[in-house]
Structure 1
Amino acid sequence: MIDILSPIPGTFYAKPSPTEEDFVKVGSIVTPDTTVALVEVMKTFIEIKAECSGKVVEILVQNESVVEAGSILVRVEEG
C-alpha cells in the first residue's frame, strides 16, 4: 500500500473546478503522472501526482478540507 501525502499545509481539492469530475475515485487506475488532487496555499495550487502505479483504494480527505503537511490524501494498492 502506498500513501500519497500532502507536501504542504493547505486546502485539498479533489477536482479541478466545482463543475468537473474528481481527479480520481476509489477504483481508479493511476500512473506516476496522474494528478490525484490539488492543494491550495495562498492562492497557489499545487498539483499532487500519484508518483506510483496502481489502483486507488481509499481517499481519506473530503473535497475542500484543510490538510497539514504529511497528511495522507489517497491510498494506492501497487499493481
Structure 2
Amino acid sequence: MATIKATMPGVFYRRPSPDADPYVEEGGSFTPGQTIALIEVMKTFNELKAEDAGRITRFLIDDGDEVSMGQDIAEVDG
C-alpha cells in the first residue's frame, strides 16, 4: 500500500480551521496539487499537497498529532 508522508516535522491538521470540513475525507479522492492537510511549524501553516491522483483509504494519525519528517500520514490507493 502506498502512503503519503510528512514533508517536515510539526503538528498535523486535516482541516484549514477547527470548524471547517477536512481537505480530504477517508475514502475521498484527490488530484495532483490538491491540498491534503496542513503541517504547522513555528506558527506557520504549510500545505501538504498531493503529488499524484489517488484516494485516501485511511489516515494513520489524528488532527493535532505531532509528526516527524518522512512519517506516514495516510494510506492511499492510486
Q: Give, in whole Å, the separation in 1 of the partners of 2:21 and 2:45.
A: 17
List structure 1 segments (4+ residues) > 3 angstroms apart after TM superposition: none
Residue 68 in structure 1 maps to residue 68 in structure 2: yes
Task: Give TM-score, length-normalised by structure 2.
Answer: 0.93
Provide the rounded CA distance (Å) in 2 between the counterparts of 1:73 and 1:50. 12
Superposed CA offset, 1:20-46 (max 9, x none)? 011111111111111110000101111
CA distance in 1, matches of 2:17, 2:33: 20
The separation in 2 between residues aligned to 1:2 and 1:50, in whole angstroms, is 13
Structure 1 residue 10 displacement after superposition: 0.3
Provide the C-alpha distance between the structure 2 equivalents of 1:50 and 1:24, rounded to a whole number of angstroms: 11
Q: Residue 15 of structure 1 aligns to a residue in which SS?
A: coil
Residue of structure 2 in register with 1:15 after alignment: 15
Q: Which runs of 5 or more structure 1 residues have no equivalent in the other structure?
A: none
CA distance in structure 2 between the partners assigned to 1:49 and 1:76 by the alignment: 14
Code of the aligned partner of 1:55: R
Percent identical among aligned pairs is 40
Structure 2 spans left out of the alignment, 5+ residues: none
* Partner in structure 2 of residue 52 of structure 1: 52
Q: 1:44 corresponds to which letter in structure 2? A: T
